Amino acid sequence: MHLSRFPRVHLAHLSTPLEPMKRLSKELGVDLWIKRDDCTGMSTGGNKTRKLEFLMAEALEQGADMVMTQGATQTNHGRQTAAFAAKLGLKCHILLEDRTGYQDGNYNTNGNVLLDHLHGATTEKFPGGHDMPAEMERAAETMRAKGHKVYVIPGGGSNSTGALGYVNCAFELVSQANDAGMKIDRVVHATGSSGTQAGLVTGMCAMNAQIPVLGIGTRAPQEKQEQMVFDLACKTAEKLGCPGVVSREDVMANTDYVGEGYGLPTESGIEAIRMFAELEGILLDPCYSAKGAAGLIDLARKGAFDGERIVFLHTGGAAALGGYDFAFDNTNRWVSL
Ligand SMILES: *Cc1c(COP(=O)(O)O)cnc(C)c1O
């Protein structure tokens, strides 16, 4: 698969490391590895970096001087888009949807919000349930009327252009496994706006890797999540010139770990954050990677992965932790010796 046919700005730190998680493996009795897409670079990294390499190249190709995107208050995608815009000399405006209702000061101004602003982006807040894509179109029209060339990026960077970044990741991962003589039985990761899983599944199917991908949901119910991923995978395959390569059965999501809703921390997610931090020295975030890891841990404990070698794709997000400090009780970490 020749991805260089598509415009791309090469700003990501690739290939990301593929590392064993020895202490967590021992704890859970499963052979666990981690693909460090939290280390992709661009304002600390995360899965949006790979997507934005293709999206921002398209923006430049179209002569844009401004990019616009949307997400939840603590959107990682917004922060990474702001960093790309800074690097490439474009203006960036981010529409933020209040999906949690948190009044907490850190949630509303720290973590990713702080970083959005440090990268020079402007932000605008909307209530939860607002029609954000329509709002973004309206905002883009306003700026176009003022003479700007605006490139609109969908939430999460999840369209067939952004998904190319995860087609690329599938190739990279399989190539690392081949070089190391390592057989991978399954990839597990947090899924949200669906571009990551759609790209991965399309890449895996296009090269006939025969590595199943399990998305752990962070928002939508299973049927809706799988359909979103499948629809985008079909569009991505079409863009690549291999339509029909992904079957509906190739798309698997487990949405048992969402908890009360998007962006709301769960007990199992907090436990996952503590386990990764204390056993592996790796930071997760409460909104996405912790819920993905909570699914990984629970399914491992239930024996669902017995005898398998699992690769957990770390999609990033730790930059949000400063906006979620209220979710942790660390009082017992203060001691006098
Ligand atoms: C956006 C995001 C996801 C979900 O990826 P999608 O491509 O939107 O499904 C997972 N983890 C983190 C940290 C994210 O920021």
Q: Would you say the pTM of this structure is higher than 0.85?
A: yes
If you measure from the C-alpha of residue 327 to the centroid of ligand 1, how many angstroms do you get, rounded to a whole number?
A: 20
- What was the pLDDT predicted at 285? 98
323: amino acid identity, one letter? G
Location of each CATH 3.40.50.1100 domain in the chain: 18-45+159-329, 47-153
| Percentage of residues in the chain having pLDDT higher than 90 | 100
Q: Candidates 193, 219, 251, 314: which one to mutate for ligand 1, based on the most atoms within 8 Å of Cβ?
A: 193
* Annotation: CATH topology of 47-153: Rossmann fold (3.40.50)
Query: For ligand 1, which residues put their CB under 6 angstroms from it?
Result: 46-47, 76-77, 156, 158, 190-197, 285, 288-289, 315-317
Does residue 194 have a cis bond before it (omega within 30 degrees)?
no
Tell me which residue of 320, 293, 216 sits closest to 258, measured CA to CA. 216
Tell me which residue of 3, 27, 8, 9 sits closest to 296, measured CA to CA. 27
Which are the contacts of 277, defined by CB distance < 8 A and separation ≥ 6?
283, 284
53: amino acid identity, one letter? E
Tell me the per-residue pLDDT of 234-255, one tens digit each, with 9 for 90 and over. 999 999 999 999 999 999 999 9
Q: Report the C-alpha gap between 281 and 125 in whole angstroms.
A: 34
Category of 41 on φ-ψ map: left (φ > 0), alpha (ψ -120 to 50) or beta: left
If you measure from the C-alpha of residue 146 to the centroid of ligand 1, how many angstroms do you get, rounded to a whole number?
A: 33
- What was the pLDDT predicted at 311? 99
Which two tokens mark 287? 């909104």
Q: Report the C-alpha gap between 306 and 143 in whole angstroms.
A: 54
Phi then psi for 287, rounded to 5 degrees?
A: -80, -40
Tell me the per-residue pLDDT of 94-152, one tens digit each, with 9 for 90 and over. 999 999 999 999 999 999 999 999 999 999 999 999 999 999 999 999 999 999 999 99
Burial class (CB in 10 A: 0-12, 13-18, 19+), 127: exposed
Tell me the per-residue pLDDT of 55-103, one tens digit each, with 9 for 90 and over. 999 999 999 999 999 999 999 999 999 999 999 999 999 999 999 999 9
Which atom in ligand 1 lies closest to the alpha carbon of residue 162? 7
The pLDDT mean for the chain works out to 98
Q: Report the C-alpha gap between 268 and 280 in whole angstroms.
A: 17
Q: Report the C-alpha gap between 121 and 34 in whole angstroms.
A: 32
Q: Say if residue 224's pLDDT is above 90.
A: yes
Which are the contacts of 267, defined by CB distance < 8 A and separation ≥ 6?
none
pLDDT tier at 268, thresholds 50, 70, 90: very high
Average pLDDT, stretch 274-302?
Answer: 98
Q: Say if residue 203's pLDDT is above 90.
A: yes
Tell me which residue of 237, 229, 165, 225 sits closest to 197, measured CA to CA. 229
Strands 309-314 and 31-36: parallel
Q: Report the C-alpha gap between 316 and 56 in whole angstroms.
A: 20
If you measure from the C-alpha of residue 48 to the centroid of ligand 1, how many angstroms do you get, rounded to a whole number?
A: 7
Tell me which residue of 226, 164, 223 sits closest to 194, measured CA to CA. 226
Is the distance from CB of 11 to CB of 41 less than 8 angstroms?
A: yes
Average pLDDT, stretch 221-238?
Answer: 98
Q: Say if residue 1's pLDDT is above 90.
A: no
* Annotation: CATH topology of 18-45+159-329: Rossmann fold (3.40.50)
